[in-house]
């Protein structure tokens, strides 16, 4: 199948591309490299360095490569920046997404997988969160993703679009080839690893007075390979469930301090901690119920343990201490 992967040079997108290639799909990647890396796109994929809002390029790609399926990862994703510059998030995550959908319609492509987020839920009313939980985002990032989910539902009813939304919890870990190397890193595990490697002086904990077991935020961490696996399963699932929403998480929550201790155990390195203020838009607890994905997709995480996730990330960062600058 000819599959267009937007944001395919980014962390999750590049690993999904890796898995799609192993399934013998023909993969075309478009990424503006704002956060992604050219080196993260495997040579077997066709690559275009451009923004998904470029209508002329998109039409050329659809025409040249006869695109049959879209996996959409391209987005602005940093929560704290979304609170200070929401317009940028709505432009990239909503407006540019509509451009992509309308060009799909023009070329009679009706299959779409959307990279959404647990931030769509906002503050949990109960734990674990399932797909029936009320959606009340508390940051512009989550709001922009939820807006686009609503747009997909309307396109399904009006135009016959088949789509699956994946609401990720905290993606982490690495494959043997590919890992996490954001240009503006905000994710906890790689930041702790950088502190363990003395690339950062310390790891800052944003808030220690949450109503949790140790005062720090609790999150559900899921291996990026397990996220990629769900996308592969969704290719066939679209015919059975053409407008479905799925959580992707492990169902286990770990506090920031627990993750720090896990990284220290795996790396056998000391990590200096600095306690800071809460970040605006951060819920205290986010833990997933993935029962629906397991039942309908036949999906089960292959790497359910935090230690497995951290160990894979540590191996990749140890092999490529400068990230994709070291990649060959």
Token pair listed for 16: 């999904």
Alpha-carbon span 298 to 325, nearest angstrom? 37
The closest alpha carbon to 72, from 5, 26, 118, belongs to 5
Considering the candidates 11, 89, 121, 141, report the single residue annotated as catalytic: 141
CA distances from 39 to 19, 71, 179, 326 (A): 16, 20, 11, 10
CA distances from 125 to 85, 86, 278 (A): 27, 25, 20
Axis crossing angle, helix 96-106 with helix 140-159, rounded to the nearest 10: 20
Axis crossing angle, helix 306-319 with helix 256-267, rounded to the nearest 10: 50
Q: Is 126 a catalytic residue?
A: no
Phi, psi of 261 (to 5 degrees): -65, -35
Residues 6+ apart with CB under 8 A from 43: none
From the DSSP assignment, how many helices (H) and strands (E) are in the chain? Answer: 11, 13
Helical H runs in the chain?
Answer: 11-22, 55-65, 79-84, 86-90, 96-106, 140-159, 188-196, 224-240, 256-267, 291-297, 306-319
Token pair listed for 266: 């795996």
Pairing of strands 253-255, 170-172: unpaired
Q: Which residues are catalytic?
A: 141
């Amino acid at each position: 199948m000819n599959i267009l992967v937007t944001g395919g040079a980014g962390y999750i997108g590049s690993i999904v591309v890796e898995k799609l290639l192993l399934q013998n799909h023909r993969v075309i990647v478009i990424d503006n490299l704002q956060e992604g890396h050219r080196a993260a796109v495997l040579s077997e994929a066709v690559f275009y360095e451009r923004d998904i809002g470029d209508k002329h390029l998109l039409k050329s790609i659809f025409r040249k490569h006869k695109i049959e399926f879209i996996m959409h990862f391209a987005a602005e994703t940093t929560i704290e920046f979304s609170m200070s510059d929401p317009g940028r998030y709505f432009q990239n995550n909503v407006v540019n997404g509509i451009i992509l959908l309308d060009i799909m319609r023009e070329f009679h492509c009706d299959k779409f997988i959307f990279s959404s987020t647990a931030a769509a839920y906002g503050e949990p009313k109960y734990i674990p969160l399932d797909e029936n939980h009320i959606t009340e985002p508390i940051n512009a990032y989550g709001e922009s993703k939820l807006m686009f989910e609503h747009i997909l539902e309307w396109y399904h009813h009006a135009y016959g679009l088949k789509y699956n939304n994946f609401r990720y919890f905290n993606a982490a870990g690495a494959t043997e080839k590919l890992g996490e190397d954001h240009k503006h890193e905000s994710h906890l595990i790689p930041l702790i690893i950088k502190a363990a490697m003395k690339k950062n002086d310390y790891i800052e904990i944003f808030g220690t007075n949450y109503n949790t077991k140790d005062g720090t935020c609790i999150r559900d961490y899921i291996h990026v390979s397990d996220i990629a696996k769900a996308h592969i399963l969704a290719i066939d699932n679209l015919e059975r469930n053409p407008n479905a929403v799925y959580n992707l998480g492990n169902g286990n929550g770990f506090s920031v301090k627990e993750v720090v201790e896990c990284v220290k155990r795996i790396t056998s390195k000391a990590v200096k901690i600095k306690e800071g203020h809460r970040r605006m838009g951060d819920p205290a607890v986010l833990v997933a119920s993935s029962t629906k994905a397991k039942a309908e997709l036949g999906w089960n995480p292959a790497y359910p343990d935090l230690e497995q996730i951290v160990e894979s990330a540590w191996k990749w960062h140890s092999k490529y201490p400068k990230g994709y600058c070291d990649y060959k």
